[in-house]
């Protein structure tokens, strides 16, 4: 028997996770779903990760990803690095409290993955995504929301809860990423802040003031107060599932895959950029965000949390022309 103890991240993900992430082609086209149950299990000083998948998709990605076998691979578990030792995945993950940012390779799928898993206890879910690459070229995306169980095999009520969740995910996974289209308002929340050494250094109050200009344009001001203090305003445009940020303070672009938007914004006049994954998780415009501030091409801070929307005036109410 080993006296080795599981990492904090391993403790945070104890149990069996259930989800039905959507599968998207590189251009953002939704092509199907993947029913998944998975767990990371610590026993006798060793960690084993297993995953059972059942794809239901169309096109060549179905043949690529449905390999017809249970995935099961070793993990070197720690709070500094989680190293995946194969055979199904080879690479590592970097934990920050309740979020892990992983980069690894799947020989069976022939893709390199950037996977971000964020456990959100206040919402009772894990927000998951994998961007799939050949080299630097994106070839697809998986993303979706998971719930965890401890008694799925034996409890009919839990089984029904999971079944209901999976059905809802099948419907919601293809919804497009849209912020409030007609109502101005404020997104508010508190993010945990981790430094480049993965140490929790405090929290940040995050406020995003949002005002639609028309159905495709909005003005947003992001304000960070706390460990990190910044304020940026930019005009944001949407064209299908692509977005752009036009300054004056931030310039960049993003691409959405269903409910998830991945973007990079450069701060004008500074060696600073913001990488973000933002996910709309309900009908109330609640956003779950994972942000990384990169300074001089190096990781500076990783921030993540929940933003809840406080709706204001409908600034795109019906317009009329009165003719005598």
Please report the pLDDT score of residue 133 as a whole number: 98
pLDDT the model gives residue 65: 94
pLDDT tens per residue across span 5-37: 899 999 999 999 999 999 999 999 999 999 999
Whether 88 shows a pLDDT value over 70: the answer reads yes
Q: What is the pTM of this model?
A: 0.96
At residue 287, what are phi and psi to the nearest 5 degrees? -110, 130
Q: How far is CA 212 from CA 220, 247, 311, in A?
A: 9, 15, 12
Residue span(s) of the chain under CATH 2.40.128.20 come to 8-172, 183-313
pLDDT number for residue 103? 98
Fold assignment, 183-313: Lipocalin (2.40.128)
- What is the pLDDT at residue 210? 98
Q: Is the dihedral of CA 37, 191, 77, 116 positive or negative?
A: positive
CATH class name, domain 8-172? mainly beta
**Residue 215 backbone dihedrals phi, psi, to 5 degrees:** -70, -15
Q: What is the per-residue pLDDT for 153?
A: 87
List CB contacts of 74: < 8 A, sequence separation 6 or more: 46, 47, 48, 49, 84, 85, 86
Rounded Cα–Cα distance for residues 253 and 244 (Å): 4
Per-residue pLDDT tens for 246-272? Answer: 999 999 999 999 999 999 999 999 999
Backbone angles phi, psi at 156, to 5 degrees: -60, -35
pLDDT at residue 324 is higher than 90: no
Could you read off the pLDDT of 166-223 as tens digits, one per residue?
Answer: 999 999 999 999 999 999 999 999 999 999 999 999 999 999 999 999 999 999 999 9
- Dihedral, CA atoms, 193, 195, 196, 197, nearest 10 degrees? -120
What does the pLDDT average to over 64-82?
Answer: 94
First and final C-alpha spacing in the chain: 89
* Section 88-101 average pLDDT: 97
Between CA 261 and CA 238 the distance in angstroms is 11
Residue for token digits 């109050």?
Answer: 205
Which tens digits make up the pLDDT trace of 102-151?
999 999 999 999 999 999 999 999 999 999 999 999 999 999 999 999 99
**Alpha carbon 181 to chain centroid, angstroms:** 21
Instruction: Express each pLDDT in 28-69 by its tens digit.
Output: 999 999 999 999 999 989 999 999 999 999 999 999 999 889
Confidence of residue 2 (pLDDT cuts 50, 70, 90): low
């Amino acid at each position: 028997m080993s006296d080795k103890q599981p990492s904090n991240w391993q403790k945070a993900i104890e149990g069996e996770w259930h989800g039905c992430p959507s599968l998207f082609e590189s251009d953002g086209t939704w092509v199907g779903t993947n029913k998944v149950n998975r767990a990371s299990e610590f026993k006798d000083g060793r960690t084993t990760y297993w995953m059972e998948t059942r794809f239901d998709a169309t096109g060549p990605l179905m043949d690529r990803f449905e390999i017809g076998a249970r995935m099961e691979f070793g993990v070197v578990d720690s709070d500094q690095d989680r190293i995946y030792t194969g055979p199904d995945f080879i690479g590592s993950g970097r934990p920050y409290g309740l979020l892990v940012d992983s980069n690894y390779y799947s020989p069976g799928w022939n893709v390199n993955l950037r996977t971000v898993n964020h456990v959100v206890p206040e919402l009772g879910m894990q927000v998951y995504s994998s961007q799939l690459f050949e080299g630097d070229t994106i070839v697809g995306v998986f993303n979706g929301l998971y719930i965890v169980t401890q008694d799925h095999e034996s409890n009919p009520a839990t089984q029904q809860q999971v079944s209901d969740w999976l059905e809802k995910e099948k419907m919601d996974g293809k919804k497009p990423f849209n912020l409030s289209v007609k109502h101005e308002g404020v997104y508010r929340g508190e993010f945990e802040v981790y430094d480049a050494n993965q140490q929790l250094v405090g929290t940040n109050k995050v406020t995003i003031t949002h005002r639609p200009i028309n159905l495709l344009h909005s003005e947003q001001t992001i304000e960070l107060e706390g460990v990190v203090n910044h304020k940026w305003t930019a005009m944001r445009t949407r064209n299908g599932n692509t977005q752009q940020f036009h300054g004056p303070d931030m310039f960049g672009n993003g691409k959405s895959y269903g409910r998830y938007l991945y973007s990079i914004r450069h701060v004008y006049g500074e060696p600073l950029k913001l990488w973000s994954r933002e996910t709309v998780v309900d009908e109330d415009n609640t956003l779950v965000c994972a942000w990384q501030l990169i300074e001089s091409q190096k990781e500076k801070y990783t921030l993540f949390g929940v933003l809840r929307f406080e709706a204001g005036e409908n600034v795109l109410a019906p317009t009329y022309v009165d003719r005598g």
